[in-house]
Amino acid sequence: MRLLLLFSLLISALPSPLHAEAIVDTRSGRRLAIADLLDLARQADFVLLGEVHDNPRHHQLRAEFLARLAPDRVVVEHLEQGHEARWGTSSDSGRSVLEALNQAGFDSTGWQWPTHAPLFEGLARAGIPATGGNIGRDLARRLVREGLPALPPPLAAPLSRAPLNADAQAALDADLLDSHCGQLPASRVPGMRLAQRARDAAMATTLLAVPGRPAVLLAGNGHLRSDYGVPALLGELRPGARILSVGFIEEDRPDTGDKLYTHVWRTPPAPRGDPCAALKAGKPKT
């Protein structure tokens, strides 16, 4: 009897799979099955799936979800506008997924390959091409240095229709500072903010040009925020659009995303060190 009780206590102390990975409707607090989320995605005009960039589990889960959703293509933050990675055609015969991505301009070092391998290999198996939705690095640098004069008209137009309110701008600035370990000089914040907004405008306009529905975006959680991200732009550019935004949130940050996404998909955190350790030690962040 004592052994049975001890065994029961040990089992109850183990993490529950449902607790470890759960999909939650942020408006009602209700937990959903993957099949429920798929039904909602099929009814949406835009499906936005987030990620914590260095969490391979997020990439695996999205690949599995997309294999079942089966969109014609996906728009990805990881490639520049006008670039596309395709797999499985006769011209791609014998090429690896990474080779196809590199030919489309993928920065394997910047995106810490093979962290994203589960995502893109899953897209390749499902035959779903990846269309670039981001701005290029050169433009991003110019926006940081030169500000609004460097902003191309096709991106300036949607941003002018959806200016940030004070709270949204403060939230974006705080996130930029946090992502730079608090070391971003105040003079650089406006340029960094403009570059971030230009990325969102590029992804939003790319989504609008995708034929068929739902149009799907894969990007970091910050780009999916309802206060300053892609949904805010889509709401202005396509009033009344049905937007499903899923933030992939690590469970050690339980309050993140409750009002920022229509749904959150909670997962265990990826094992990682302190990303700001180098700066804390007086060394430049790599």
**3-class DSSP string for 79-113:** EECCCEECCCCHHHCCCCHHHHHHHCCCCCCCCCC
- Is the torsion defined by CA of 156, 161, 162, 165 positive or negative? positive
* Confidence check: pLDDT of 220 > 80: yes
Taking a C-beta distance cutoff of 8 angstroms, is the pair 104, 79 a contact?
yes
Q: What is the pLDDT of residues 139-178, one digit of tens each?
A: 999 999 999 999 999 999 999 999 999 999 999 999 898 8
Interior angle at CA 62, CA 73 and CA 243, nearest 5: 65
What's the pLDDT score for residue 252? 72
As a whole number of angstroms, the distance between CA 159 and CA 163 comes to 6
DSSP state string for 28-86: T--EE-HHHHHHHHHH-SEEEE---TT-HHHHHHHHHHHHHH--S-EEEEEEETT-EE-
User: Domain map of the chain by residue range?
Assistant: 18-269
* Confidence check: pLDDT of 19 > 60: no
18-269 has CATH 3.40.50.11550 classification: yes
Q: pLDDT class for 257, splitting at 50, 70, 90?
A: low
What's the pLDDT score for residue 5? 37
Residue of 266, 256, 205, 262 whose CA lies nearest to 230: 205
What's the pLDDT score for residue 198? 98
